[in-house]
Amino acid sequence: MNEKKSFVVNLIGIPDHERSILRNIFKLSLYRACTYTLALNGDVGQMMLVDADDSEALAAWQSLTVSGKVRSLPPYPPESPSHQALTIMIAREQPVEPVPHWIRRPFVATRVLGVLDQAAALPVEPIQPVASHAEPPAIIQPSSLIVSAPRALVVDDSITVRKQVELELKQFGVQVDTAESGEQAFELISLKSYDVIFLDVILPGIDGYHICKAIKKEKTTKKTPVVMLTSKSSPFDRVKGALSGCDTYLTKPVKQSAFHGVIKKYLKST
């Protein structure tokens, strides 16, 4: 049996919402051959994730770079350059300058862990001293403007269903808000814009069909995909859902394959 390996990961320039997503993804690695945890304050990691879409993050990373790898974060003894952290870039598009490892935004659990596992298979060699006249490494230019992760709203009066859908969405790097009633849903929709809305048919007070009609009548939300969640699957329910303006529906309990199909259809960047 292969020996289990553990890696501490430092982050440079990664926004708070993505740090939370990475923390959840890393929890999935607990039962894998390689496990990953976020570095706490002052911790020195064997890996480093760098936001390649943020020029300030790149500048901070390059101040630590030696021969394509990175020294441990300060404080480290300058006379003892034996520790290195493997660098993995985070970007929405492939960086202009070639890099050994990079992860595409938005985060998908299998993609993130796959890249980390590839990097974990590489041996970490000692850092060689750099001559004082050596030229600093060229700055990698950001390949695109920073774009926020997709956002979804899950409306269901069952906390179990809300949590199930939320966890599935977060595996695709989606930010999630939840509501247990139509009133809460309308309040959130008035404050934020969503890339997709998951809407239960039967809710306390106003039902999902009426909520969907209201969403589709509003100029600012009429193009937002609405996925109805229903425990029924009769032709009448499909017709009623279509008349309300919903884009598609999922029957509870939701099958993972059907759910992933909906995500890939309406959140094409995942």
Give me the torsion for CA of 53, 56, 60, 66, rounded to 10°.
50
Q: DSSP assignment, residue 134? A: P
Q: Which two tokens stand for residue 237?
A: 């329910």
Most confident range, picked from 48-52, 117-121, 143-147 = 48-52
**Separation CA 238–CA 209 (nearest Å):** 11
Is the pLDDT at 83 greater than 50? The verdict is no
**Global model pTM greater than 0.85:** no
Residues 6+ apart with CB under 8 A from 114: none
Locate CATH 3.40.50.2300 in the chain. Answer: 5-120, 151-266
* Among the four given CATH numbers 1.10.3720.10, 3.40.50.2300, 3.40.50.300, 3.30.565.10, the one describing domain 5-120: 3.40.50.2300
The average confidence (pLDDT) of the chain is 78
Q: DSSP assignment, residue 82? A: -
Q: Which two tokens stand for residue 208?
A: 């999902």
* Under 8 Å between Cβ of 108 and 172: yes
Q: What is the pLDDT of residues 147-189, one digit of tens each?
A: 467 899 999 999 999 998 998 898 888 999 999 998 899 989 9
What's the CATH code, domain 151-266? 3.40.50.2300
Residue at token pair 């009066």: 157
Most confident range, picked from 43-52, 68-77, 180-189 = 180-189
Residues 6+ apart with CB under 8 A from 140: 52, 58, 89, 95, 96, 97, 99
Place 241 in a pLDDT band, splitting at 50, 70 and 90. low
